[in-house]
A = this chain, B = another copy of it.
Amino acid sequence: MRSPDVLRARQSLAPYARPAVAVDLVILTLVEGALHVLLIRRGESPFEGRLALPGGFLRVGDGQEDQGEDLDLAAARELQEETGLASEDVLLEQFATFGRPGRDPRMRVLSVAYYALVRPELALRVRAGGDAAETRWEPVAELDGHSLAFDHGHILQVALARMREKLDTSALAFSLVPERFTIPELRTVFSAVKGEPQDPGNFRRKVKRLVEDGVLEPAPGVRRTASKPAALYRFRAS
């Protein structure tokens, strides 16, 4: 075996072959109380005709001066290209990088994966279904993991697992409701992400604590519903 020093020398002088690097997006929103993910029908091989996560290759410059775009910027650019949404309106967060050899049969490709949480009102604006590229919202719960192209089913599962971890300890949930939202709306998000219904009374108590702690604040107006109108709240950036 070569010693580490020899390895290091070889690397700086004559680098190994490089992998292609893609940035893939798990774009999620809530439609009628259920998590939906934005998928694209692939029009070319491999996995032609299969659904896949939107994404694209990282732009790398051609030298020391121009080294290309940041990963977060690449994710924002892809989001814009695929949905027309600006990254300021969406929670966009890197969560893992996937690189198993063979995951793309053509060549070695690493995928730096981001999840993007889109408010329901913005999700409506996404050109879905009408495009040539055939972009569409698919309900996460009804997806067969094996139906997605590449390892995208796995990537989706990892994204969901991470979101479940962070749901209670971050501001993540507030990115899946309108900017001004009701407590029941927020409860729907928790129910959908956790996959089990949340008790209305207990959930309300939890949200009320957030208000007392200054995380949320009451917002003017009410939301008209099928029954009793509900009070509005908003997230305090502070």
A-side residues, CB < 8 A to B, are: 4-5, 7-8, 11-12, 15-21, 43-44, 56-64, 67-71, 81-82, 94, 96-102, 105-108, 110, 112, 132-133, 165, 169
Residues of chain B lying within 8 A (CB to CB) of residue A98 = 71
Expressed in whole angstroms, the minimum distance between the Cβ of A12 and any Cβ of chain B is 7
A134 nearest CB across to chain B (Å): 11
Q: How many copies does the complex hold?
A: 2
6 more contacts with CB within 8 A, not counting A8-B44, A12-B106, are A5-B132, A19-B60, A67-B108, A94-B96, A97-B112, A110-B110
B5 touches A56 (CB 8 A): no
Chain B residues near A61 (CB, 8 Å)?
17, 101, 108
Judging by beta carbons under 8 Å apart, are B16 and A19 in contact? no
Which 7 residue pairs are nearest across A and B when measured between Cβ atoms? Answer: A67-B101, A18-B18, A67-B108, A71-B99, A97-B97, A17-B60, A19-B60
What CA separation (Å) do A117 and B228 show in the bound complex?
53
CA A61 to CA B16, docked complex, whole Å: 9
Residues in B neighbouring A70, C-beta threshold 8 A: 99-101
